[in-house]
Structure 1
Amino acid sequence: MENDQTDKNSSSRCTFFHTDPEDYRCDVILTVKRATGAFSLVACLFMLFVIWLLRRYNSLAQKMIVSLTVAAFFDSVAYVMDESQAEGSLCNFQAWWLTYFDWSALAWVCLITMNLYLNLVREIRTEHYEIPYHLVAWGVPLLMSCLPLMRGYYGLAGAWCWIKDDHVAWRFGIWYIPLFILIFLMICCYARIICVANDRMQSWLGTFNPERERRKVSLAEEIRPLKWYPSVYLLVSIFPLLNRLHNAAYPKNPMFSLTLLHVLSAPLHGLANALVFGKDTWSQLSNTGIKLALRSRLCDSTRIGEYHPASVRYTAELESDSDDNDNNVLFYSADMSLKDRGPNGY
Structure 2
Amino acid sequence: MILSLSLAAFFDSIAYVMGEVLADGVLCNFQAWWLTYFDWCSLAWVCCITLNLYLNLVKETRTDRFELMYHIVAWGVPFILSCLPLFGDYYGPAGAWCWITDSHVAWRFGIWYIPLFILIFLMTMCYFRIIYVAKERVLTWSGTYDPERERSKVLLAEEIKPLKWYPCVYLAVSVFPLINRLHNAFYPSEPVFVLTLLHVLTAPLHGLANSIVFGLDKETWSQLSLTSLKLAVHSRFCDTTVIKEYQPGMVRYTAQLDEDNSDSGDDTTVLFYSPDMTLKDRGP
**TM-score bin (small chain):** 0.7 to 0.9
Change beyond 3 A, Cα 1:121–1:84: same
- 1:71-94 Cα offsets, whole Å, 9 max, x none, are 111111111113241211011001
CA distance in 1 between counterparts of 2:39 and 2:216 reads 23
CA distance in 1 between counterparts of 2:210 and 2:262 reads 66
Task: Name the TM-score, length of structure 2 as normaliser.
Answer: 0.81
Counterparts of 1:14-29 in structure 2, within 5 Å, are: none
Counterparts of 1:254-265 in structure 2, within 5 Å, are: 254-265=191-202
CA distance in 1 between counterparts of 2:41 and 2:220 reads 30
- Alignment of 1:187 with 2:124, yes or no, is yes
- Which letter does structure 2 place at the counterpart of 1:326? G
- Alignment of 1:132 with 2:132, yes or no, is no
Task: Name the TM-score, length of structure 1 as normaliser.
Answer: 0.67
CA distance in 1 between counterparts of 2:65 and 2:229 reads 29
Change beyond 3 A, Cα 1:153–1:218: same
- Which letter does structure 2 place at the counterpart of 1:92? N
- Alignment of 1:251 with 2:188, yes or no, is yes
Following TM superposition, by how much is the alpha carbon of 1:225 offset from its aligned partner in structure 2, in angstroms? 1.2
- Alignment of 1:71 with 2:8, yes or no, is yes
CA distance in 1 between counterparts of 2:240 and 2:147 reads 34
- Which letter does structure 2 place at the counterpart of 1:194? I
CA distance in 1 between counterparts of 2:239 and 2:51 reads 37
Query: For residue 101 of structure 1, what is the aligned residue in structure 2?
Result: 38
Listed as ranges, the gaps of 5+ residues in structure 1 are: 1-63, 331-346
Following TM superposition, by how much is the alpha carbon of 1:296 offset from its aligned partner in structure 2, in angstroms? 6.0
- Alignment of 1:114 with 2:51, yes or no, is yes
CA distance in 1 between counterparts of 2:196 and 2:219 reads 33
- 1:47-77 Cα offsets, whole Å, 9 max, x none, are xxxxxxxxxxxxxxxxx22211111111111
Query: For residue 83 of structure 1, what is the aligned residue in structure 2?
Result: 20
Q: Pairwise CA RMSD of aligned residues?
A: 3.0
- Which letter does structure 1 place at the counterpart of 2:265? D
User: Does structure 2 retain, via aligned residues, the 8 Å contact 1:155–1:164?
Assistant: yes
Query: For residue 104 of structure 2, what is the aligned residue in structure 1?
Result: 167
Change beyond 3 A, Cα 1:217–1:296: closer
Query: For residue 282 of structure 2, what is the aligned residue in structure 1?
Result: none
**Rg larger in structure:** 2
Query: For residue 328 of structure 1, what is the aligned residue in structure 2?
Result: 267
CA distance in 1 between counterparts of 2:103 and 2:2 reads 36
Following TM superposition, by how much is the alpha carbon of 1:263 offset from its aligned partner in structure 2, in angstroms? 1.1
Following TM superposition, by how much is the alpha carbon of 1:208 offset from its aligned partner in structure 2, in angstroms? 4.9
Identity in percent: 64
- 1:215-250 Cα offsets, whole Å, 9 max, x none, are 121111221111111111111100000011111122
User: Does structure 2 retain, via aligned residues, the 8 Å contact 1:315–1:328?
Assistant: no
- Alignment of 1:272 with 2:204, yes or no, is no
- 1:70-119 Cα offsets, whole Å, 9 max, x none, are 11111111111132412110110010011001011111111111121122
- Which letter does structure 2 place at the counterpart of 1:204? W
CA distance in 2 between counterparts of 1:205 and 1:212 reads 10
Aligned partner of 2:133 among 179, 196, 205:
196
- 1:177-223 Cα offsets, whole Å, 9 max, x none, are 11001101111111111111111111036665422321121111221
Following TM superposition, by how much is the alpha carbon of 1:159 offset from its aligned partner in structure 2, in angstroms? 0.9
CA distance in 1 between counterparts of 2:162 and 2:219 reads 12
Secondary structure of 2:92's counterpart equals: strand
- Equivalent residues, number: 259
Following TM superposition, by how much is the alpha carbon of 1:306 offset from its aligned partner in structure 2, in angstroms? 7.3
CA distance in 1 between counterparts of 2:158 and 2:99 reads 38
- Which letter does structure 1 place at the counterpart of 2:35? L
User: Does structure 2 retain, via aligned residues, the 8 Å contact 1:243–1:258?
Assistant: yes
Secondary structure of 1:167's counterpart equals: helix
Aligned partner of 2:226 among 294, 311, 328:
294
User: Does structure 2 retain, via aligned residues, the 8 Å contact 1:115–1:126?
Assistant: yes
Which of the pair has the greater relative contact order for Cα pairs under 8 Å at 6+ separation?
A: 1
User: Does structure 1 retain, via aligned residues, the 8 Å contact 2:50–2:123?
Assistant: yes
Change beyond 3 A, Cα 1:218–1:143: same
